[in-house]
Amino acid sequence: MKKTGLIALIIGATLCLFSQNVYSAKTEMIDNLTKQNIAQALWLESFNEAFIPADILKKIYSQKNSNEAFATRLGVRLDELSETRISYLKDLRKRYETMKEYADQRSAQQVYANLMFMGPQGVRGYKLLDPDMKFEWPQIDHPQWEYQVGWHFFVGNFTDEDNNHYSVQLMYWQYSLLPPDMAHELGLSDIENQILEMHLAISDPQTDTHYRANTVIVAGTTGLIGFKAKPYEYTMGKNVIRSLDPDGNLFPVELIAKGWDMGKPGNPDIEINIFLYNPTGYFMEGDEGKAPCVDGIGTYYYSAANLKLIDTRESMIMIKGEKIKLIDGNMWYDHQWGTGFMPSGAPQHAVMRAVENITEPPPGGWDWFMMHFYENDAISTEGEVQMGISALHTNDNLSFYWQTGSEAPGIMTTPCSGKYIDANNHAIDIKGTMKVTKWVKNSTSPNPDVYLPTHTWYPAEYTFTIDSDVPEPLKQFTSTPITSNAQTGFFANGLQYAEGGTLLTDTLGNEIGRGFAEATNYANTWENVLKLSGMPVNEKTKEFIGAAKPSIYLKITSMLYVAFHKKELEKIIRESRGL
């Protein structure tokens, strides 16, 4: 061999070895679960560099997106919380120190799960709610990055050309990993500071199947989260909520999403491409959109109740590669965001924090319903009407939550409230009683390797009695899921919920509408949250589960503080909205 040829061979072999080492170093910057999420956000079943745009690949392999960087930023946040004392809150410094022991390498998803254990102090630094905040469109439809959490949520029911029925859920759930100012100090933009998870599901009652896509979660540092105001376009990889209006309004809108149900044989894929317009406009939930807003903590919330298919565009869903054309139906849109919602956060003033120390906290969780009733002589002759109803979990019903025994729970009764929206989009407050009369045991997961099945009993039939002024057929009715299996899914932090289409019937069993039901905190998944956080499940970390209960000393001092600050407390409650 000529000398020059030998040199070229040595150089080539060296460069090849160097490139392999660089590639290995790059791929080790992120874990396999993160790669799976990135791939599915880009509509790839598995991670393959050859199909990822070069500019995105550069961000994926950037130091800013490495597990080391996420761990470092988590450590900075834990140090800040450890060094800050907030009056009338239990001291959680030992917890933060324990969490930091394991914060050497953390993915974005693990950091997100860690945030569930920050306690009430975790709201520190996020934007607080203003009870006088005014809603202005189209800006209010934008993702609100400076708050702790927010979501854009579409659910609805459709029929195809053969009058087959399908229900669809699409949700973008967004969380700010760090308070905005801290994120900026650490070199992150507002979008880079986000994680975004997508929830996609289709129920097919013809085959009695609920398809739930694997929960896909990506960090803003991957470059896969995007938002443009004009025209409105909110992207997660190849999934998009895209407006057809060039002036920045959300509606009319196109919803595009794809995912894989990894809990079924063959990992069947599901996909949606749905075009919607908003014929009746928005309405405010709670008290003029505050639901609630108490001393800086709570959520803003509004909805659009009757989104219709655009006739001139072909809307469709796909199940296992089979295209299904949608010809009729509607969806409900929610936009809700705030601070101190997940986990529950500390109020702004000491007297409110003291009150919480001497008040038994609710268990958390709720049942929520979207209901679309058909136009007929008995209900309405002016058009279709809707209801949005919720029932918060109460301490009186603790025996019905987290149930995994062999026998189904009995009948659960609880107050409910919400809005009745007439054919002219006029919303009025309503109240009533909700009963869970049947239950179903869940044994599924959209990705069993990550989100462990819980084998929990979930509601399988609801009956409602409405005490307010609504049409007679809506005074009492039943909501039943359209599939017999529990329509459950998981948040990327490990918490489980149920969400799926329902059939609405009157007291005679006649179909009067279609809806959606949502049930949260029926399953105890906190050990799974710990696992997803990257911390071990042991006696030390199990102490993180549940509310940080105040000591006897803290309760006594809180009682005294409240007694001497009654006027301040009364003023805060008077200024609160949506209680």
What are the pLDDT tens digits along the chain (579 aa)? 433 344 333 334 433 333 333 344 455 678 999 999 999 999 998 999 999 999 999 999 999 999 999 999 999 999 999 999 999 999 999 999 999 999 888 999 999 999 999 999 999 999 999 999 999 999 999 999 999 999 999 999 999 999 999 999 999 999 999 999 999 999 999 999 999 999 999 999 999 999 999 999 999 999 999 999 999 999 999 999 999 999 999 999 999 999 999 999 999 999 999 999 999 999 999 999 999 999 999 999 999 999 999 999 999 999 999 999 999 999 999 999 999 998 899 999 999 999 999 999 899 999 999 999 998 888 887 889 999 999 999 999 999 999 999 999 999 999 999 999 999 999 999 999 999 999 999 999 999 999 999 999 999 999 999 999 999 999 999 999 999 999 999 999 999 999 999 999 999 999 999 999 999 999 999 999 999 999 999 998 988 887 778 999 999 999 999 999 999 999 999 999 988
1, part of any domain: no
29, part of any domain: no
545, part of any domain: no
CA angle, 319 as apex, 316 and 322 as ends, to 5°? 75
Q: Which two tokens stand for residue 19?
A: 């490139």
475, part of any domain: yes
Number of domains in the chain: 1
415, part of any domain: yes
Q: Which amino acid is it at 38?
A: I
Q: What length is written for the chain?
A: 579
Contact predicate 33/190, CB 8 Å: no
CA angle, 384 as apex, 383 and 387 as ends, to 5°? 140
Dihedral sign, Cα of residue 541, residue 547, residue 552, residue 558 = positive
Show the DSSP H helices in 521-565 as ranges. Answer: 526-532, 539-542, 552-563
120, part of any domain: no
Spatial CB neighbours of 500, under 8 Å, sequence gap ≥ 6: 167, 169, 201, 203, 210, 481, 482, 483, 487, 516, 517
324, part of any domain: yes
Specify the CATH number for the domain of residue 527. 2.40.370.10
127, part of any domain: no
Range of the domain at 376: 139-532
